[in-house]
Structure 1
Amino acid sequence: MNVFKMSPSIENIIVKYLTNSATANDIDKLVVWIEKPTNKKVFKEYVKTHYAIYYSMKEPNTQELLDKLFFTIRRKESFVYKLKSQSVYRYVAAVLVIGLMISAYFFRNSIHISNKNNETIIVNKSKSIKPGTDKAILTFDDGSQVALEKGTSYNAQNVNSNGEEIVYEKSKSESEEIKYNYLTVPRGGQFSIKLSDGTKVWLNSESELKYPVSFSSGKTREVELVYGEAFFDVSASTNHNGVKFIVKNKSQEVEVLGTEFNIKAYLGESNIYTTLVEGSVVVSSGNELKKLKPEQQLNLDLVNNSKIIKTVDVYNEIAWKDGVFSFENKSLKEMMIVLSRWYDVEVIFENEAIENEEFIGILRKNQEIQEILKSIENFGIIKNYKIYDKKIIIK
């Protein structure tokens, strides 16, 4: 239960700030709010309770660190971690693993190899496992391909890329035959695309989107999430003479007029999750139609053909597109599936008993996986682990 006297909007801004995902407008609001002495006290208590109490309270200069933290907000400097406000969960150690270190003051950057009996073994340590990056394969209607990646650019008629995003311009000719492109993001990658109608799509690792190079005027705008995970910020139908937008995949269709939502439909997984951030969508599967409201998620179970709608914390579902992974009530196994895609590794559990240990917290996507694994080991969640090139064996 939240005992701090702050509005949900302010708490959300604090969370975004601590994860380095706050906008300039967010920071301006936070600066104004924190000017009041009472709010300053609330902020310090919030941080102290949800972050420092588990770790940095062991340090003699905790108050000094909190003062420095407060000072940096006024300087608009950034931090690296946010730990969701959870104080009653059983697996506190697991919470610490991911979200403990909110700043350089609370984080010991060095990673040490254990010298205990159960030693961590890293084979080919010089080849550390790096986090994913912006990269994708663009496939044209004739089958030809272009590799897109951070640091490179691509330019052609009506389409260009800066290595992080690909942008399609609206065709000047409305009579052109519809041609489809594919954007495929491999394991260890991410990419975004702006479609010709202005719709923005973020693609997570191991995902593929099929879409028209240009939409036909007056006709339904359709794209297909072939597999994987994508966040859609759809250009409103009011900007396109009322024409609706549909996202298809092999098991369902999502119809929207203009909204923000996330679809998770990975190959080999038996559930498809559709999460609405704002606006309204109708999900059709078989002969059933389900309408979602903001902060609702539809879980389509492909094995049992069941459809369950529940209210969720939207942040946990879409944080991946803003540079963090948010885990709430996720098992170690589920977490490792997510990480295996981003780091392009294979994870093997030798100790199956720990697969269901639950986690709550947030992980930055730009850190090396050894940092994560070592933290888990230090808190006793796992005994040790081994890394062989692109394979991780958890003991």
Structure 2
Amino acid sequence: MSETELSKLIEKYKNGTLTEEESAFLNAWYIKYAVEQESSFDPAYLDQNLDLMWNAIEDNVAQHGFRTERLKPVAKTSLWPRIAAAASVIMVMGAALYFFNTDKTKTPTAINIAKTEIRPGGNRAFLTLADGSKISLNDAANGQLANQAGITITKTKNGQLIYTIADQQSAKPGNLYNTIETPRGGQYQINLPDGSKVWLNAETKLKFPVTFANKKERKVELRGEAYFEVAKLKTEGIKMPFIVASTGQEVEVLGTHFNVNAYPDEQDTKTTLLEGLVRVSGLLRPRNAILKPGQQSSLSPTGLSLKNVDTEQAVAWKNGQFMFSNEPLTQVMKEVSRWYNVEVEYKGDFSNVVIGGSVSKFTNIKEVLDVLALAGKINFKTVGNKVIVSP
């Protein structure tokens, strides 16, 4: 393809008249080359890398059995598989992002990102023991951290906190509780005393007993978002239900995998079931619902509702991804702000901007904002620890 033909595509991009196929081609090229080279979206940069790009695409696509050719003005149905394949093999940051904007009158604007480097979050958390002492888990050395009520608390080298019964005889019942809390820009995994595994998202707090010995239930309290893999446990031949209490609701399980999103600044509390069976109970407006795998409950001020969802999206944060399905820009930026620990300021109305796709959480925020700005038809500017969004 000549520079002239590419220039025509870019002119169509500026006018907002690109087809889906043409847009996919330019987005894929931009993600691979313009973002990596920190260049602006200028036709002068396109031609010098075009052949390199298509050579790489053809080599990869050939391995997947697709036939490739230079981009030509062909029918939409025949062009799309090739463009989709091309985009899939050159994507960066975990996956290619794709975006939608319901306001078709706006034209793309230039990216305006300051040079401030805002790095992604990581394994950061604080553990508060029953005696009130507080341990910074990102500063603490690996190995045994404490021993209380016959329970040994150990930090592993890969950023996990493990509770194990060191001495059955000294494992004392009682109302001793620990609390683990992740800050903005933090996440952590913990293995509870019963063997259940919990992954905590950013800005999350989990309160739990030091031991579940001689208890009829395993009850923990959650604020924020966490993914649970609950261990099956019996005491004296009786199953011990596992209960997650959050604002306005309780989730009761016997052994299952599920996600609870219960941030104070979210309107709804969402529970997503991946495996097993759970009962969700609304406390303020009493109503129970049994969730099956693939279902999500939403507890709002008006009641409790159920729907089928993509569970992969619900737990994408645990797997190191941002994943959105036509989500409002404001919701997307809420998740970005928690993970990168930034403040977001809006200058304008963005209620009509929705975003879909996925991107790795473990990349510099500039790369995420570059892609958002490219196809979201918006501008981003970082000032210190603030991200300013403008038309």
Q: TM-score, normalised by structure 1?
A: 0.70
Whole-Å separation in 2 of the counterparts to 1:129 and 1:266: 23
Whole-Å separation in 1 of the counterparts to 2:221 and 2:89: 39
SS at the partner of 1:315?
Answer: helix
Judge conservation of contact 1:236–1:258 (CA < 8 Å) in 2. Answer: yes
Whether 1:274 and 2:271 are equivalent positions in the alignment is yes
Q: In structure 2, do the counterparts of structure 1 residues 65 and 121 end up closer, same or farther at CA, with 3 Å as the change threshold?
A: closer
Give the corresponding residue for 2:345.
Answer: 348
SS at the partner of 1:187?
Answer: coil
Unaligned runs of 5+ in 2: 1-20, 31-45, 65-75, 78-83, 97-107
Q: In structure 2, do the counterparts of structure 1 residues 298 and 50 end up closer, same or farther at CA, with 3 Å as the change threshold?
A: farther
Whether 1:235 and 2:259 are equivalent positions in the alignment is no
Structure with more relative contact order (C-alpha pairs < 8 Å, separation 6 or more): 2
Give the corresponding residue for 2:368.
Answer: 372
Whole-Å separation in 1 of the counterparts to 2:109 and 2:171: 70
Judge conservation of contact 1:345–1:392 (CA < 8 Å) in 2. Answer: yes
Give the corresponding residue for 2:305.
Answer: 308
Q: In structure 2, do the counterparts of structure 1 residues 372 and 318 end up closer, same or farther at CA, with 3 Å as the change threshold?
A: same
**Greater Cα shift, 171-180 or 185-194:** 171-180
Whether 1:253 and 2:250 are equivalent positions in the alignment is yes
Aligned-pair Cα RMSD in Å: 3.5
Judge conservation of contact 1:259–1:278 (CA < 8 Å) in 2. Answer: yes
Whole-Å separation in 2 of the counterparts to 1:209 and 1:278: 22
Give the corresponding residue for 1:388.
Answer: 383
Give the corresponding residue for 2:333.
Answer: 336
Whole-Å separation in 2 of the counterparts to 1:341 and 1:263: 16
Give the corresponding residue for 2:119.
Answer: 130
Q: In structure 2, do the counterparts of structure 1 residues 206 and 100 end up closer, same or farther at CA, with 3 Å as the change threshold?
A: farther
Whole-Å separation in 2 of the counterparts to 1:145 and 1:389: 30
Q: 1:390 offset after TM fit, Å?
A: 0.6
Q: Deviations over 1:267-315 (max 9, x none)?
A: 12221000000100001113321100000000000x32x1110000000
Give the corresponding residue for 1:65.
Answer: 57
Whole-Å separation in 2 of the counterparts to 1:386 and 1:377: 10
Whether 1:184 and 2:181 are equivalent positions in the alignment is yes
Q: Deviations over 1:312-367 (max 9, x none)?
A: 00000001101111111201111000000000000111022x24311110010111
Larger Rg: 2
Aligned residues: 310
Q: In structure 2, do the counterparts of structure 1 residues 248 and 180 end up closer, same or farther at CA, with 3 Å as the change threshold?
A: same
Alignment-mate amino acid for residue 363 of structure 2 = Q
SS at the partner of 1:143?
Answer: coil
Q: In structure 2, do the counterparts of structure 1 residues 50 and 295 end up closer, same or farther at CA, with 3 Å as the change threshold?
A: farther
SS at the partner of 1:141?
Answer: coil
Judge conservation of contact 1:51–1:100 (CA < 8 Å) in 2. Answer: no
Matched ranges for 1:1-395 at <5 A: 55-56=28-29, 59-60=50-51, 62=54, 64-68=56-60, 102-103=91-92, 120=112, 122=114, 125=115, 127-149=116-138, 152-155=141-144, 156-157=146-147, 158-162=152-156, 164-170=159-165, 172=168, 173-217=170-214, 219-225=216-222, 227-237=223-233, 241=237, 242-286=239-283, 287-301=286-300, 303-304=301-302, 306-352=303-349, 354-379=350-375, 381-382=377-378, 384-395=379-390
Whole-Å separation in 2 of the counterparts to 1:217 and 1:66: 64
Q: TM-score, normalised by structure 2?
A: 0.71
Judge conservation of contact 1:55–1:100 (CA < 8 Å) in 2. Answer: no
Judge conservation of contact 1:246–1:254 (CA < 8 Å) in 2. Answer: yes
Whole-Å separation in 2 of the counterparts to 1:178 and 1:50: 59
Q: In structure 2, do the counterparts of structure 1 residues 339 and 121 end up closer, same or farther at CA, with 3 Å as the change threshold?
A: closer
Whole-Å separation in 1 of the counterparts to 2:263 and 2:297: 15
Judge conservation of contact 2:57–2:90 (CA < 8 Å) in 1. Answer: no
Whole-Å separation in 2 of the counterparts to 1:99 and 1:366: 19
**Greater Cα shift, 208-217 or 334-343:** 208-217
Judge conservation of contact 1:133–1:150 (CA < 8 Å) in 2. Answer: no
Give the corresponding residue for 1:44.
Answer: none
Q: 1:200 offset after TM fit, Å?
A: 0.2
Q: Deviations over 1:102-153 (max 9, x none)?
A: 259x99xxxxxxxx9967252xx3x410000101000011211000117842
Q: 1:68 offset after TM fit, Å?
A: 3.5
Judge conservation of contact 2:173–2:212 (CA < 8 Å) in 1. Answer: no
Whole-Å separation in 1 of the counterparts to 2:177 and 2:327: 37
SS at the partner of 1:205?
Answer: coil
Q: Deviations over 1:139-168 (max 9, x none)?
A: 011211000117842522211113611000
